[in-house]
């Protein structure tokens, strides 16, 4: 029963909704965009200087009967974010779902980490979530509904040597998620996060990882890393009606990993 006492209709369908996915030209973002489109959403494919890859995602969605458009923007830049959201609203109408996926990662000993390393990580992995959320929330508040899904990482919870800026940024994403969830739940907006374990993407290429890294990452009950589509499934759940009672949660598709 719903809070109003009537039967609650829940569905994975996103028909009639529009989703904006940042960093959606490759990897996890690409998989999320395609899956949300399969569920019926119109999808805005955000990318940064990857027009050919973004076009492939748009075409894949259209070939399957969906609707998508690609918009290039640096989501770590406030002015660019405002232009991105304005263009999306003009092109596809209201935004119902925001997936903050754009991110970078760098492996470097802490004492070798430069100011620029730190600032770049914070801008791309954390500030972008702040900027994008701030840009879309007024519209969601006006309509009394909306969903924001933030991509964090299990390293934002567990930590990892040689990844200090990344761990700090992703921990910040988790804190921001919980704060926004509390502030905007009264407006009918759900804000949640996904904290995956290692995923087989170009950003974390299995071929380029050291044996020591692989030994740690494969030390899970499933003895493997995730595929992007497995993380996308969690994003679809959080975007759909099936997660209506999830607020400020951090879901961890990680194969059972508990090792820092």
Residues serving a catalytic function are 166
Contact in structure between 173 and 193 (CB atoms under 8 Å): yes
Whose CA is closest to 113, among 156, 152, 169, 157? 169
Cα gap 222→67, rounded to integer Å? 35
Angle of helix 128-143 versus helix 164-184 axis, rounded to 10: 10
For 183, the token pair is: 């502030």
CB–CB of 17/42 below 8 Å? yes
Backbone angles phi, psi at 152, to 5 degrees: -100, -140
Residue pair 39/12 in contact (Cβ under 8 Å)? The answer is: yes
Q: Are 46 and 21 in contact (CB under 8 A)?
A: yes
Q: How far is CA 184 from the centre of its chain?
A: 18
Residue count of the chain: 260
User: Can you tell me the distance from the alpha carbon of 79 to that of 172, in angstroms, rounded to the nearest whole number?
Assistant: 22
Whole-number Å distance between alpha carbons of 47 and 159:
28
């Amino acid at each position: 029963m719903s809070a109003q006492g009537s039967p609650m209709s829940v569905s994975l369908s996103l028909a009639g909704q529009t989703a904006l996915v940042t960093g959606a030209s490759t990897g996890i973002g690409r998989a999320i965009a395609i899956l949300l489109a399969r569920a019926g959403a119109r999808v805005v494919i955000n990318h940064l200087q990857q027009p050919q890859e973004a076009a492939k995602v748009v075409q894949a969605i259209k070939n399957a009967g969906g609707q998508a458009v690609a918009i290039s923007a640096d989501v770590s830049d406030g002015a660019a974010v405002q232009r991105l959201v304005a263009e999306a609203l003009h092109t596809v109408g209201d935004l119902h779902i925001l997936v903050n996926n754009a991110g970078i990662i760098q492996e470097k000993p802490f004492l070798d980490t430069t100011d620029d390393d730190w600032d770049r990580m914070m801008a791309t992995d954390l500030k972008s979530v702040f900027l994008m959320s701030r840009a879309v929330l007024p519209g969601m508040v006006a309509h009394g509904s909306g969903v924001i899904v933030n991509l964090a990482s299990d390293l934002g919870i567990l930590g990892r040597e040689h990844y200090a800026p990344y761990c700090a940024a992703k921990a910040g994403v988790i804190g921001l998620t919980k704060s926004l969830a509390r502030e905007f739940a009264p407006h009918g907006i759900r804000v949640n996060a996904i904290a995956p374990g290692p995923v087989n993407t170009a950003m974390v290429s299995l071929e380029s990882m050291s044996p020591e890294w692989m030994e740690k990452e494969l030390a899970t009950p499933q003895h493997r890393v995730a595929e992007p589509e497995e993380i996308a499934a969690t994003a679809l759940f959080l975007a759909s009606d099936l997660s209506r009672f999830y607020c400020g949660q951090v879901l961890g598709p990680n194969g059972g990993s508990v090792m820092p």
